[in-house]
Structure 1
Amino acid sequence: MRGLGELEAAVMDVLWRTSEPLKVREVMDRLDTGKQLAYTTVMTVLDNLHRKGWAVRELDGKAYRYEPAMSRAEAASAALREVLDSSGDPEAVLLHFARSASDRETELLRKALPRKRRK
C-alpha cells in the first residue's frame, strides 16, 4: 500500500478484514507477519496510523479500539489519485493503464464512466 510501511500495511490489512473496532491485543492476535512483535510495537504502529489519518480510534475503558478511517477501495483510489497528480502526465499514465486493463477491468470502467454524446 502506497504511503505505508510493511508493518503499517499489515496492520491496516487486519483492520480492513474485520467488521468491528479492535484493541491493540486483538490486532496483535490477528497479525501474521512471521515475526513475534511486542505489544508496544503494535500500539505505536496503530498510534501512527491514527496520527496519519489511516485509522480512527475510540476510548473503551483504558484502551483504544481502532478501525480504518477509509475502506480498502477508498485507500487504493486515493493512492491512484496521488500517482496521477504527481506523474506530470496523467493522460499518459491513464492510457498505459487502459492498455494493460483486463477485459473485466475494461468492462467495469465502461460501466462507471458516463456516456458522452458524440458531435
Structure 2
Amino acid sequence: MSTTPPPAEGDPAEGKRRRPGQLEAQVVTILVEAARPLTPGEVRDRLDASGALSYSAVVTTLTRLFDKGAVTRQRDGRAYRYGAIRDAAALVAERMSRLLVAEPDHTSVLRRFVSTLNERDEQILRALLNEDADP
C-alpha cells in the first residue's frame, strides 16, 4: 500500500518554498514505498495529485538523484523508470557530511550543530556515540 506523503511545511502546494533537499527526500520516500520502479509521471502523481508540481521538476529531481547514485534508472519505452537505492535519511546524512567536509573547522561546526539540537535529539546522538565507543 503506497501512501501519498502529506504536504510538508514549505510545500509549494501550501504557497511556500520547499526546504533544500525536501523534494528529493519526498521523491525518495515515494520510490522506497513503491512496489516497483516508477516513471516520473507516476512519481509526480503520487507526490501531488493536484498537478501543481511540474513534471519537469520531478524529472530534474530524479536525474539529480540518479547522478548522486541514490536511485536506479532503467529505460522503459521512451521514458525511464526509477527505483530507490537509499532512503531519505541516507540522503540527509550524506548532505550533512558534504557540508561538514566543506568547512575546515569541524569542531566549531559540530559544536554549533549540537547546541541547536533539542534534548531528545541530543540524547539520541549521545547514545549513538556511546554505542560506537563500546568495544
Structures share fold, TM-score greater than 0.5: yes
Task: Tell me what 2:54 maps to.
Answer: 37
5+ residue gaps in structure 2?
A: 1-17
> Which one has a bigger Cα radius of gyration?
1
Task: Tell me what 1:98 maps to.
Answer: 114
Task: Tell me what 2:99 maps to.
Answer: 83
Write the distance in 2 (CA, Å) between the matches of 1:91 and 1:68.
33
Q: Which contiguous aligned blocks of 4+ residues in structure 1 show a shift greater than 6 angstroms?
A: none
5+ residue gaps in structure 1?
A: 1-5
When normalised by structure 1's length, the TM-score is 0.69
How many residue pairs end up in the alignment?
A: 108
Task: Tell me what 2:29 maps to.
Answer: 16
Task: Tell me what 1:73 maps to.
Answer: 89
Any idea what the Cα deviations from partners look like across 1:68-104, whole Å, max 9, x if unmatched? 3321111111111111111120100111111221111
**Percent identity of paired positions between Structure 1 and Structure 2:** 29
The residue type paired with residue 52 of structure 2 is K
When normalised by structure 2's length, the TM-score is 0.62
Write the distance in 2 (CA, Å) between the matches of 1:52 and 1:87.
21
Write the distance in 1 (CA, Å) between the matches of 2:133 and 2:63.
44
Structure 1's 51 and 84: CA in aligned 2 closer, same or farther, altered over 3 A? closer
The residue type paired with residue 35 of structure 1 is A
Write the distance in 2 (CA, Å) between the matches of 1:75 and 1:103.
24
Aligned partner (choices 67, 87, 97) of residue 51 of structure 1: 67
